Amino acid sequence: MSDLTPMMRQHQELKKQYPDAILLFRLGDFYEMFGADAELAAPLLQIALTSRDAGHGRKMPMAGVPYHAVENYLAKLIRAGHKVAICDQMEDPKLTKGLVRRDVTRLITPGTVIEGNLLEDKSNNYLIAVNLDEKSTGLAVVDVSTGHFSVTEWNGQRFDKLFSELSRLKPRECLMPESLFSDAGFVRQVKSIAGMSIESKDDWQFSADAGTEVLVKHFGVQSLAGFGCEDLKLAIGAAGVLILYLKDTQKASLGHITRLNTYSLDDFMRLDPASQRNLDLVQRSFDGSSEGTLVSVLDMTVTPMGGRLLRSWVLQPLLNVEKIRYRQTGVAEMAAQTRIRQELREIMGKIQDLERLSGRLGCGRVNARDMIALKNSLSCLPLLKEKLQKTSSEILRDLNNRIDILPGAKELLEKSIADDPPLALKDGGLIKQSFNEELDELKESCRGGKEWIAGLQQKERERTGISSLKVGFTSVFGYYIEVTKSNLSQVPPDYVRRQTVAAGERFITPELKEYEAKVLGAEEKINELEFQLFLQVRDEICKFLPALRQDAESLSQVDVLCSFAEAAVKYRYARPEVNSGDTISIVEGRHPVIERYISRFVPNDTKLDQAEQMLMITGPNMAGKSTYLRQVALITLMSQIGSFVPAKEAEMGLVDRIFTRVGASDNLIAGQSTFMVEMNETANIINNATKRSLIILDEIGRGTSTFDGVSIAWAVAEHIYRLGTKTLFATHYFELIELAEEFSGIKNYNIAVKEWNEKIIFLYKIMPGAADRSYGIQVARLAGLPTDLLKRAKEILTRLEAQAVDLKNSPENQMELFNSRPAVNPTEEELKKIDVDNLTPLQALNKLKEIQEKINNQGLGRGI
């Protein structure tokens, strides 16, 4: 360190405090990176890697970005998963002798981003903390960009429920105790679900006492009773860790985090990671895209905050009938009131992202343009309330009553902030005329000096006779008088040479120097005063943060209700009758996503109740089995988020969970084959399904031998049936259709096809009864397999079918594999009847010989 230059020593001392972050070190108009940071960032940011003298002839790698464009580069670093420490100049270099004092003003991590251009508009950016003991799990969740802060805790099923929440939240960053972080298998599994950055903290920081102390101080309360979480010890510990981490990274007051919401997993339908993935709710399972998902169809929101809420509702369907109907009333009214809906959507489309504006305001990161965006948004609220006043549904009237137009905040912003301010806060132009008397006087003084300077050019032209003379200004040299080379002989003696340029010479006069000092001094004072006034206005607006948060939440709900109504009208959705019964009845149901991509979608009915608890669905590939299964699941989910559904009509008994087992994939990271993944998902269903669940099974047992697969599928179907769970079971194992003969609540259905001239036409209609065949060769023909190959396949199929008929017509060799009672073996029965205690040794030997001869003659040994 002693060999380094003073500036490089300063850099190295700050870097030691943030060893795992890329340090952006402010030097003049650039943020510079040095050493390993520069070597890492240069190729990632596609900027030049240079070097700088570090002292005693040593060269330090260096790469820099302009300070005014730093956010664009930050986005690349954060998306690559890096932490970034912003180091700013804490003094004005013009007023400082020697080394400028610098310090880190903010640590940006994937879970603590608040800048709009670094975030997705319609997705939350969650930071979470996980806290576990032997029996329970505590979870704390915060989005610092919006101020949403929640906790929950549960007993039992620690990992299953945690993984479901991680899949729902998709957090960017996770904090956990060191003792939990040391479990490499757990950390690997967590990362495979959420793909987030994980950081450990000392175990003691997660204690309930430490968390309570932090939270009570942050919220300024006596206890946590008002938040409903005082008994959730693990959750409290996790929440305290989040607040400490945010204060350390943001280095701000977090004034926008004004509430702590306590929620229970029991209030919502739980969707495990497999179901979220298989139903393509927010991301397509095969490429992660948002196109072709349920959210992409339903999301017609006009505000970013509405889009985020809609996504949240889709992933947290309600389990309370009254709350569902409460939402439905708003959707129904907006669907019926076309004009009001359109007017509301037009008004809301002019409102900025109040949640994230509030977030930047609470963290002290707003600029003057943010303030104008806030003012313009508040200007829309009176008209919005006027339109909502015309509604009659309970939910819309409640939301209208919660919206505060905040006249005080709007009036202050109207009077203080310039209509078109610059982005920078220290370059002036922020404050309106007449807001501050001292500022007006300074501006008047500056204006007078500028007017004198503006008139100087004509005055000097007349005095010197040099018609080409001009007065100019540069930020380096200040004001000057420029004279071309051909006119230098006419320069008066009071001109003092300041600079030589290609075209001539630049001069200054004592009088110009005096006015320059007056103007520049006034401008410096103006800029500093405007900055201080802006900070005062910002602090005053911060007092409205709780009301702003409430306005944002209310507007989000209005936006989502209008979005659901817009989709219902545009796509011909019907209002489902949601009740607490156990019947699912859908008339002419459609898949909400698939129907958007094909010209003619064939609707289908569905009836699931005690009489038809399990539908065993057979039919060829590509006929529409998977689409039918998923559409029932999606209609069920849509009905429980308050949306209307793609059907002519529907009666939906409340479902506590939707389980799905579809598709085929492996998990190489976890060392699991396709069959193992399938069995894991099936086990999850078997162990957690209830009578109120809905199960979607699209093929079971395909990853192993045919007999093994059929046996497992049969046993799974029997087990689920005995659970009483409503189930749609699609299969290619025709043996399973025999289940309908043994169990009254299992019904066979098939996807109709029409065969013509060795080709098949898919009718996409579900019909009672089992399919008679799989049409595999016909489907292979559609896929484009060679004709010779298909001909050979047909020959083999004919031979195998003939062998199957021969086996079926040979009763002595046929076994009833799927009977609920095991087949009776005559030799085994004869052995059971022998009275061993009363047999002589000779009788026993004779009996043994007799049995041996039967086995040899009848081939029954395999059955023992």
C-alpha 306: how far from chain center: 14
Assess whether 505 and 563 both reside in one domain: no
Write the pLDDT tens digit of every residue in 404-420.
999 999 999 999 999 99
Assess whether 563 and 581 both reside in one domain: no
Task: Give the per-residue pLDDT at 139.
Answer: 97
Kindly state the average pLDDT of the residues 235-251.
95
Domain assignment present for residue 337? The answer is: yes
Supply the CATH number for residue 99's domain.
3.40.1170.10
Assess whether 525 and 549 both reside in one domain: no
Task: Give the per-residue pLDDT at 820.
Answer: 46
Mean pLDDT of the chain: 88
For the stretch 370-375, contacts whose Cβ atoms lie closer than 8 Å and that sit 24 or more positions apart, written own/partner, are: 371/413, 371/417, 371/421, 371/537, 371/538, 371/541, 372/413, 372/417, 372/419, 372/420, 372/421, 374/409, 374/413, 374/541, 375/410, 375/413, 375/414, 375/417
CA distance 26 to 92: 12
Assess whether 618 and 759 both reside in one domain: yes
Write the pLDDT tens digit of every residue in 25-61.
999 889 999 999 999 999 999 999 999 988 877 899 9
CA distance 639 to 646: 10
Assess whether 246 and 135 both reside in one domain: yes
Q: Which residues pair with 497 in a beta bridge?
A: 507
Least confident of 309-313, 380-384, 427-431, 588-592: 427-431
Kindly report the backbone phi and psi dihedral angles of residue 641, in degrees, each rounded to the nearest multiple of 5, phi listed first: -100, 0
C-alpha 513: how far from chain center: 59
CA distance 364 to 535: 9
Number of structural domains found in the chain: 6
CA distance 231 to 1: 51
Regarding predicted confidence, which is higher, 753 or 77?
Answer: 77
Task: Give the per-residue pLDDT at 723.
Answer: 94
CA distance 719 to 742: 13
Kindly state the average pLDDT of the residues 441-450.
83
Residue 572 · residue 297 · CB < 8 Å? no
Assess whether 184 and 66 both reside in one domain: no
Buried b (16+ CB within 10 A) or exposed e, 189-204: bbeeebebbbeebeee
Domain assignment present for residue 628? The answer is: yes
Task: Give the per-residue pLDDT at 341.
Answer: 98
Assess whether 158 and 209 both reside in one domain: yes
Assess whether 176 and 96 both reside in one domain: no
Supply the CATH number for residue 466's domain.
1.10.1420.10
Write the pLDDT tens digit of every residue in 795-805.
766 776 666 55
Kindly state the average pLDDT of the residues 495-520.
89
Domain assignment present for residue 18? The answer is: yes
Task: Give the per-residue pLDDT at 663.
Answer: 64
Kindly state the average pLDDT of the residues 808-816.
47
Write the pLDDT tens digit of every residue in 141-188.
999 999 999 999 999 877 889 999 999 999 999 999 999 999 998 898
CA distance 265 to 523: 58
Task: Give the per-residue pLDDT at 774.
Answer: 66
Write the pLDDT tens digit of every residue in 545-574.
999 999 999 999 999 999 999 999 999 999
In this prediction, residue 539 has a pLDDT band, given cuts at 50, 70 and 90, of very high
In this prediction, residue 813 has a pLDDT band, given cuts at 50, 70 and 90, of very low
Of 748, 788, 774, which is closest to residue 622 (Cα–Cα)?
774
Assess whether 151 and 228 both reside in one domain: yes
pLDDT at 706 over 50: yes
Residue 566 · residue 345 · CB < 8 Å? yes
Domain assignment present for residue 175? The answer is: yes
Task: Give the per-residue pLDDT at 443.
Answer: 87
Task: Give the per-residue pLDDT at 804.
Answer: 58
Can you give the length of the chain in residues?
864
User: In which residue are the tokens 């930047």 written?
Assistant: 360
Of 231, 221, 214, 225, which is closest to residue 152 (Cα–Cα)?
231
pLDDT at 823 over 90: no
Q: In the chain, what percentage of residues exceed pLDDT 90? A: 64
Domain assignment present for residue 478? The answer is: yes
Which domain does 233 fall in, by range? 124-267
CA distance 391 to 103: 54
Cβ of 435: how many Cβ atoms within 10 Å? 17
Q: What is the pTM of this model?
A: 0.85
Task: Give the per-residue pLDDT at 758.
Answer: 66
Write the pLDDT tens digit of every residue in 457-488.
999 999 999 999 999 888 778 899 999 999 99
Domain assignment present for residue 559? The answer is: yes
Residue 562 · residue 636 · CB < 8 Å? no
Buried b (16+ CB within 10 A) or exposed e, 326-359: bbbbbbbbbbebeebbebbbebbeebbbbbbbbb
Asked whether the CA dihedral 665, 669, 673, 676 is positive or negative, the reply is: negative
Assess whether 697 and 747 both reside in one domain: yes
> For the purposes of burial, counting CB atoms within 10 Å of the CB of 21, is it exposed (0-12), middle (13-18) or buried (19 or more)?
buried
**Domain end: 267, 293, 309, which one?**
267
Kindly report the backbone phi and psi dihedral angles of residue 101, in degrees, each rounded to the nearest multiple of 5, phi listed first: -75, 135
Domain assignment present for residue 188? The answer is: yes
User: In which residue are the tokens 């100019």 written?
Assistant: 472
CA distance 360 to 254: 9
Domain assignment present for residue 805? The answer is: no
Supply the CATH number for residue 626's domain.
3.40.50.300
Assess whether 95 and 132 both reside in one domain: no
Assess whether 710 and 773 both reside in one domain: yes
Task: Give the per-residue pLDDT at 668.
Answer: 36
